[in-house]
Amino acid sequence: MQSVSTGSGKIRTVIGTRIAHYEITSHLGSGGMGDVYQATDSKLGRSVAVKFLPEAFARDVDRVARFEREARVLASLNHPNIAAIYGLESSNDKKFLVMELVPGETLAERIKRGPVPLDEALRAASQIAEALVAAHEGGIIHRDLKPANIKRTPDGKVKVLDFGLAKALVVEGGNTSHSPTMVTATSGIIMGTAAYMSPEQAKGRDASRASDIWSFGCVLYEMLTGRRAFDGDSTNEILASVLKSEPDWNRLPAETPNGFAACCAAAF
């Protein structure tokens, strides 16, 4: 057994345990949407990602029903650049998503090592854009596109994670119990991660396809510069930057083609 600290701050011993027919083998990460583990599906003999939903959410019948509806829509997507959802399961009063296990590092982990070379950034941006187009054509908006929600496999394929799932966690007049990326505002619900939010999201308004395009621009800028397009010492400072300023375009590499730079700027 191995103990891990979950996003809720509690210590749970889950590595080496079994839930339904899934053998939990390692901890992949934690966030506002739950704790994620690698597991082995004993029925199909494959490795999967298992995301346990926050307890406060899993006990809420309305939120679970909303999440199930969203998951069904997402399961209908079939695109090589979107991580697949295999199912929404329940066992021993625990709700969890079973998803495609995507190997490799997140784009956030890659950017920590510095700006992404232009040709590499172009390939990644093209695949992210294809994922967005496919989802938008299916009526699905991501709402929280950011480097941490994008993975690159060892062979260079880009996979966008958690498409549209953030929407299902928010109900009228409230937010998730422990998500650092979602906060309430008097005008509505601010949903997303501050540094990648569109102005309408920062104002608590509904997200749209244009919101995802804005976030895409933020991701593209960060790949090229190694710096966030909008930053600050607090969430309020970041949101103010989103609403009132523009990225520092002088940080873009000198060799950035005009068309590529224009694409980045057009997102804003």
Terminal-residue alpha carbon distance, the chain: 48
* pLDDT-based confidence at residue 59 (cuts at 50, 70, 90): confident
Note the pLDDT of residue 157: 95
The Cα 204–Cα 268 span in angstroms is 18
**Whether residue 3 has pLDDT greater than 90:** no
pLDDT confidence of residue 10 = 44
| pLDDT in the model for residue 173 | 35
Across the range 11-32, mean pLDDT stands at 81
Residues 15 and 38 in one domain: yes
Question: What is residue 189's predicted lDDT score, i.e. its pLDDT?
Answer: 45
For residue 191, what pLDDT is reported? 56
CATH number assigned to the domain comprising residue 221: 1.10.510.10
Phi, psi of 83 (to 5 degrees): -65, 135
Instruction: Give the list of residues 6+ apart from residue 158 with CB closer than 8 angstroms, or none.
Output: 81, 107, 123, 124, 127, 128, 131, 150, 151, 152
Looking at the DSSP bridge assignments, the partners of residue 190 are: 183
Instruction: Specify whether 255 is located in the same domain as 173.
Output: yes
68 shares its domain with 154: no
What confidence score (pLDDT) does residue 268 get?
77
Please tell me the total count of domains within the chain.
Answer: 2
134 with 24, same domain: the answer is no
13 and 86 share a domain? yes
Summarize the confidence of residues 167-189 as an average pLDDT: 39
Q: Does residue 187 register a pLDDT over 80?
A: no
Which of 100, 126, 157 is the C-terminal boundary of a domain? 100
Spatial CB neighbours of 194, under 8 Å, sequence gap ≥ 6: 181, 202, 230, 235, 238, 239, 242
Same domain membership, residue 124 and residue 73: no
Is 144 one of the annotated active-site residues of the chain?
A: yes
Pair 135, 187 in one domain: yes
Q: From the candidates 35, 41, 60, 144, which is the catalytic residue?
A: 144
111 and 89 share one domain: no
168 against 239, higher pLDDT: 239
Among the three residues 84, 100, 116, which one is the final residue of a domain in this structure? 100
Tokens 């990648």, residue? 196
Average pLDDT over residues 247-252: 92
- Residues 226, 197: Cα–Cα separation, whole Å: 18
Q: pLDDT at residue 49 above 90? A: yes
Give the percent of the chain with pLDDT over 90.
46
Whole domain around residue 41: which residue ranges?
2-100
Please state at what angle helix 209-225 crosses helix 258-266, rounded to 10 degrees. 140
Does residue 175 carry a pLDDT above 50? no
- Whether 94 and 113 share a structural domain: no
Residue 246 has pLDDT above 80, yes or no: yes
Q: What is the dihedral of CA 246, 235, 131, 77, to 10 degrees?
A: -150
Q: Is residue 99 predicted with pLDDT exceeding 50?
A: yes
Q: Do 212 and 123 have their domain in common? A: yes
Domain boundary among 40, 70, 100: 100
CATH of the domain at 44: 3.30.200.20
pLDDT of residue 163 exceeding 80, the answer is: no
48 and 88 fall within a common domain: yes
What's the confidence (pLDDT) of residue 166? 56
pLDDT digit string, tens, across residues 119-139 = 999 999 999 999 999 999 888
37/160 same-domain check: no
pLDDT tens for residues 206-232? Answer: 888 999 999 999 999 999 999 999 999
